[in-house]
Amino acid sequence: MSAPLLSVEGVETYYGNIIALRGVDIAVNAGEIVTLIGANGAGKSTLMMTIFGSPRARSGKIIFDGRDITQMAPHDIARAGIAQSPEGRRIFARMSVYENLQMGASINGAAHFNEDLERVFTIFPRLKERAQQRGGTLSGGEQQMLAIARALMSRPRLLLLDEPSLGLAPLVVKLIFDTIRDLNKREGLTVFLVEQNAFHALKLADRAYVLVNGRVTLSGTGRELLARPEVRAAYLEGGH
């Protein structure tokens, strides 16, 4: 088997003196959807941010497509082909949807901008209707669509999604997850997904990791983990 697209090897991240990741190993192969689940404060978003270079890992290595990106600046990591839809969406509230998408194309500028714009408008037709509107006036679901669309504008080879279901209605969550699956199936987009919504995430994912207190405690295919009693007990009981 060829080397994974992204591999995280023994990464430790600190906030000051407080350790957040205690040696995490993760691999994402090209064309896969990999999800990372875990409780609040487990370090999921920290791992996401560490992959993106802010904060930087204090030890360990992050290899993307054969390149060591551990010490690279975030904007260089973006240029290397990783895009991120950050936690809490973080769209530019006062700028129009169109301008938000333009910011997403920052790294390749005007080159194939119109083409990419058409593409994301096909994926999220709702955004086309709202193109002139200010980002802050969109609904939560639309904002999430915009955050994903904005990340797609840079033509990434790996898409990092941090809690896309945060604060959204179940129907919208389903729509978002269907879109992710669709992107993966149709375009072969590699997705690394961080989620609290373990049930949906595990159903969607090819493979999954469970993060507890800054350590990966379990890994396997989505289906396997869905069936494990300890996963059910910790993340899935009482609902769905």
Partner 1 sequence: MAAQQDHQRPDMARALVDAGFAALVTFGLSFPILALRTEQDMQNRLVVEQRWSWAIVAVVAVFCARLLAGLLSDWRARAVAIPGALIGVYGAHLALTVGPANGAGIVAFGLALLIGAFPLDARLRETPAAVAKPNVEGPDHSRLMSIAGIVALFVFPFVMLAWLGPQGSLKWINNYGVQILIYVMLGWGLNIVVGLAGLLDLGYVAFYAVGAYSYALLSTTYGLSFWICLPLAGVLAAFWGVILGFPVLRLRGDYLAIVTLAFGEIIRVVLINWSDFSNGYAGISSIPRVTFFGVPFTAADNGFAAMMGLEFTPIHRTIFLYFLILCLALLTNAVTLRLRALPIGRAWEALREDEIACRSLGVNTVNTKLTAFALGAMFGGFAGSFFAVRQNFVSPESFTFIESATILAIVVLGGMGSQIGVALAAVAMIGGTEILRELDFLKRIFGEGFDPAQYRMLIFGLAMVVMMIWKPRGLISSRTPSIFLKTKRAVAGALVREGQG
Sites of contact with partner 1 (CB under 8 A): 52, 54, 73-75, 77-79, 83-86, 90-96, 98-99, 102-104, 106-107, 109, 131-132, 134, 136-137, 150-151, 154
Q: How far is the CB of 196 from partner 1 (least distance, A)?
A: 20
Amino acid identity of residue 142, one-letter, is E
The residue (of 158 and 208) whose beta carbon lies closer to partner 1 is 158
- Token output for 94: 């006062």
Q: How far is the CB of 140 from partner 1 (least distance, A)?
A: 15
The residue (of 2 and 132) whose beta carbon lies closer to partner 1 is 132
Phi-psi bin for 53: left (phi > 0), alpha (psi -120 to 50), beta? Answer: left
The residue ranges of DSSP E strands in 29-147, in sequence order, are 33-38, 59-64, 67-68, 82-85
Q: How far is the CB of 128 from partner 1 (least distance, A)?
A: 9
The residue (of 73 and 227) whose beta carbon lies closer to partner 1 is 73
Q: Return d(Cα 131, Cα 183) in angstroms, integer.
A: 21
The residue (of 34 and 105) whose beta carbon lies closer to partner 1 is 105
The residue (of 79 and 203) whose beta carbon lies closer to partner 1 is 79
Phi-psi bin for 104: left (phi > 0), alpha (psi -120 to 50), beta? Answer: alpha
- Token output for 120: 């994301």
The residue (of 42 and 161) whose beta carbon lies closer to partner 1 is 161
Residue 185: count of CB within 10 angstroms of its CB: 11
Q: How far is the CB of 65 from partner 1 (least distance, A)?
A: 16
C-alpha dihedral sign at 64, 66, 71, 76: negative
- Token output for 223: 């289906």
- Token output for 107: 């790294």
Q: Which residues pair with 209 in a beta bridge?
A: 36, 219
Q: 66 burial class (0-12, 13-18, 19+ CB within 10 angstroms)?
A: exposed
Q: How far is the CB of 11 from partner 1 (least distance, A)?
A: 18
Please, what's the largest Cα pairwise distance for the chain? Answer: 51
The residue (of 70 and 216) whose beta carbon lies closer to partner 1 is 70
Q: How far is the CB of 79 from partner 1 (least distance, A)?
A: 6
What DSSP character marks residue 213?
T
Amino acid identity of residue 192, one-letter, is F
Q: How far is the CB of 157 from partner 1 (least distance, A)?
A: 13
